[in-house]
Amino acid sequence: MKINIDELAKKLNIKFKNKELLKIAVTHRSYLNEHRNEDIEHNERMEFLGDAVLELVVTEYLFSHFLEKPEGELTNLRAALVKGDTLSKVGQELGLEKFLLLSRGEAKAKGRSRNYIIANTVEAVIGAIYLDQGYEKTQEFIIKNIIKELPVIIKEELFRDAKSFFQEKAQELNGITPTYKLISQSGPDHNKNFQIGVYLENDLIAKGRGKSKQEAQQEAAKKALKRKKWDQD
């Protein structure tokens, strides 16, 4: 599969010095399983770097722009900005899906699986921009494309952390701290699925699924809030 890296760089509005970095950023591990002769690495290391840079830029922005907010609220705002749903939306707006290098099987995936890949690719692209352009250009890119989501997050209260809120309500109303247990996991390393249950003592309240344990825990907490009708508070 051929992709037009120049077109992608233009969409990102970044003049890359080393376009190979951008190609790595859009190369999923599964693609290399079917193209073992291609001399290119997959994007997981780039994603690791981009994740750290993204968190730093968002943290710095929130710290300097929301002087009145305490640490807990800043943490929730940051989590809402860097979570998979937000990054997937940003990646789709940037048109990244058109440029992904995937296996034939992954190319057919839709829904949460595809959104998860897009979100990770956004982090990898951030890593590539950082390596090629440095911190300031990466900061500009993140503010323009990701931090712009902040007004909607605040207006719609998308920063509300279900896991933390469920714990607060459980402790307040039942005097119990919830626990989370892994029920099952499936899928290859690059596309894991986790199912996690949230318990109050020995009672299973709800189950959640996700591409990471954290995502599955949040989903379980959301369902538990609804089951207990604590989400109406």
- Domains of the chain (ranges, CATH numbers): 5-155 (1.10.1520.10), 162-232 (3.30.160.20)
* Catalytic pick among 106, 123, 132, 219: 123
| pTM of the shown model | 0.75
* Catalytic pick among 51, 149, 215, 219: 51
The answer to whether 211 and 221 have CB atoms below 8 angstroms apart is no
pLDDT 10s digits, 28-59: 998 888 887 787 899 999 999 999 999 999 99
Q: Check residue 1 and give its pLDDT.
A: 61
The answer to whether 178 and 198 have CB atoms below 8 angstroms apart is yes
pLDDT 10s digits, 130-172: 999 999 999 999 999 999 999 999 987 778 778 888 998 999 9
For the chain, give the mean pLDDT. Answer: 91
The strand order across the sheet containing 193-200 reads 179-186, 193-200, 203-210
φ/ψ of 69, rounded to 5, equals -90, 140
The answer to whether 111 and 118 have CB atoms below 8 angstroms apart is no
* Known active-site residue 51: yes
Candidate from 11-15, 103-107, 200-204 with smallest mean pLDDT: 103-107
Candidate from 112-126, 157-171, 186-200 with smallest mean pLDDT: 157-171
* Known active-site residue 149: no
